[in-house]
C-alpha cells in the first residue's frame, strides 16, 4: 500500500531534525571537552613513583623532569617516549625499582614525555603531527631546561618507533637513541601483525565509525593475543599471595595494564596504514607531516634492547633496525617478555645497560 506523500515528507523532516540534533550534541560535546580546564595535579594520569616537576605543557601533553640527587657532572638529558596506547608511568612503577629511579640514582638528567588523555578535539591530529611537531616541542623544552644542544631519546614499544622516526626527521637535535621492545618491521610472524596488516582489517571504516580507536577495543585485542595469560596471571597471584613485595608489584602492574588511553582517530588511521599495512619503515617511501622520512639520516648510536619472549613485538621485528639506519647499533638481548623487559625481574639488566649507554654519550660531550 502506498504511503501518504505528506506522511513520508514528515518522516523525512523528523529524521533530518533528529540528525541535526545529534550533530548539535556532538558539536557541543567537542566544544565542552576543548574548553574543559586542566584537572588538578592530583588527578593527572601520571602515577609513577619518582617525584617530578612539570617543565613544559602544551595542551594535554606534559614534559616531566624527575627529582633526585644533584648531578655530580653535567650529562646529555634523556627524554623517554612512551606509547600513545598506554600510560607513561610504566617505566616508573615501583619505588626504587624502575628505570627512571635507576637513572636518577646514577645522577642522570631524566625526563618523560607524558602524552596525557586526548579528547574528541584531538581526533583530527595525524601520526606525523605527533612525531614531527609535538615531539619537537618536547625535545626543545628538554634541551632548554638541560642547557644542551642535543637530547637523547628512549622509546618503549610504539614510543620507540616514534622516537626513531623523530630522530630521522631531526637528526641534528638527537644524540643517542635507545629502542626498548620496539617494532620496526611490521610484517613479521606475530599475531598482531597478521591481524592489523590483513586486507580484511578496514581501519578507515573503524575510524570513520568510531572517530578514534577506543581503549577497551585495544585492550581486548591485546588480551586475545594470549587468551590464557589472564588465567596464568591470577594463578601466579594465588601462589605468591604471601609475598607482600610480589602482590604490591602485581597490583601496580595491573593498574597500569588497565589504565589505557584511546588513540586519536587520524593518528591511529595513519599509524596502521603506514606501519602495519604498508610497512613503510622497511619498504621506504614514508612521508610524515608532508616530509619524507629516511632512517639513514640518523647516524647517532642506537641501543636496541630486544625481548626474546616478546609476543607483541617479535625479536626479528626489532633487530632489522641495524640494516636501516646510518649509525652504529648495539644490541642487548634479554630473556623476557614485552612487559617483563621493562618491569620484571629481568629488567635490572636493561636498567644497567641503558644507564651505561647514555652515560657514555654524556662523557663524550664533556
Q: Which residues are catalytic?
A: 157
Q: Which residue has the cell 588523555?
A: 117
Is the separation of the CB atoms in 97 and 342 below 8 Å?
no
Three-state DSSP at 354 gives: helix
Q: How far apart are CA 336 and CA 231, in angstroms?
A: 19
What radius of gyration, in Å, describes the C-alpha atoms of the chain?
22
Q: What are phi and psi of 185, to 5 degrees?
A: -90, 110
DSSP annotation of 284: -
Q: Which residues of 179-210 are buried (b: 16+ CB within 10 A; e: fewer)?
A: bbbbbbbbbbebebbeebbeeeeebeebbeee
Q: How far is CA 17 from the centre of its chain?
A: 41
Distance CA 50, CA 175 (A): 25
Amino acid at each position: 500500500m502506498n504511503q501518504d506523500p505528506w506522511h513520508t515528507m514528515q518522516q523525512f523532516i523528523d529524521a533530518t531534525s533528529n540528525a541535526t540534533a545529534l550533530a548539535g550534541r556532538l558539536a557541543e560535546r567537542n566544544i565542552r571537552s576543548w574548553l574543559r580546564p586542566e584537572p588538578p595535579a592530583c588527578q593527572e594520569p601520571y602515577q609513577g613513583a619518582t617525584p617530578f616537576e612539570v617543565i613544559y605543557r602544551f595542551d594535554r601533553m606534559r614534559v616531566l623532569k624527575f627529582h633526585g640527587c644533584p648531578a655530580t657532572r653535567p650529562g646529555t638529558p634523556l627524554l623517554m617516549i612512551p606509547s600513545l596506547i598506554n600510560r607513561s608511568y610504566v617505566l616508573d612503577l615501583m619505588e626504587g625499582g624502575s628505570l627512571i629511579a635507576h637513572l636518577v640514582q646514577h645522577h642522570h638528567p631524566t625526563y618523560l614525555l607524558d602524552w596525557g588523555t586526548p579528547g574528541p578535539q584531538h581526533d583530527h591530529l595525524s601520526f606525523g603531527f605527533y612525531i614531527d611537531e609535538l615531539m619537537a616541542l618536547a625535545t626543545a623544552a628538554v634541551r632548554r631546561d638541560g642547557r644542551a644542544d642535543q637530547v637523547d631519546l628512549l622509546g618503549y614499544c610504539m614510543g620507540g618507533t616514534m622516537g626513531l622516526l623523530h630522530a630521522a626527521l631531526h637528526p641534528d637535535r638527537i644524540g643517542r637513541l635507545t629502542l626498548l621492545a620496539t617494532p620496526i618491521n611490521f610484517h613479521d610472524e606475530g599475531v598482531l601483525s597478521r591481524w592489523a596488516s590483513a586486507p580484511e582489517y578496514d581501519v578507515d571504516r573503524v575510524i570513520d565509525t568510531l572517530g578514534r580507536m577506543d581503549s577497551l577495543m585495544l585492550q581486548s585485542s591485546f588480551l586475545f593475543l594470549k587468551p590464557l595469560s589472564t588465567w596464568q596471571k591470577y594463578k601466579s597471584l594465588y601462589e605468591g599471595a604471601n609475598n607482600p613485595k610480589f602482590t604490591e608489584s602485581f597490583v601496580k602492574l595491573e593498574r597500569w595494564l588497565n589504565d589505557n588511553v584511546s588513540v586519536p582517530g587520524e593518528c591511529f588511521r595513519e599509524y596502521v596504514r603506514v606501519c602495519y599495512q604498508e610497512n613503510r619503515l622497511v619498504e621506504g617511501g614514508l612521508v610524515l607531516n608532508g616530509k619524507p622520512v629516511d632512517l639513514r639520516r640518523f647516524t647517532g648510536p642506537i641501543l636496541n634492547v630486544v625481548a626474546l619472549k616478546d609476543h607483541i613485538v617479535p625479536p626479528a621485528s626489532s633487530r632489522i633496525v641495524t640494516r636501516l639506519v646510518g649509525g652504529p647499533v648495539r644490541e642487548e638481548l634479554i630473556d623476557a617478555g614485552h612487559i617483563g623487559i621493562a618491569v620484571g625481574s629481568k629488567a635490572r639488566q636493561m636498567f644497567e645497560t641503558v644507564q651505561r649507554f647514555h652515560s657514555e654519550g654524556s662523557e663524550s660531550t664533556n
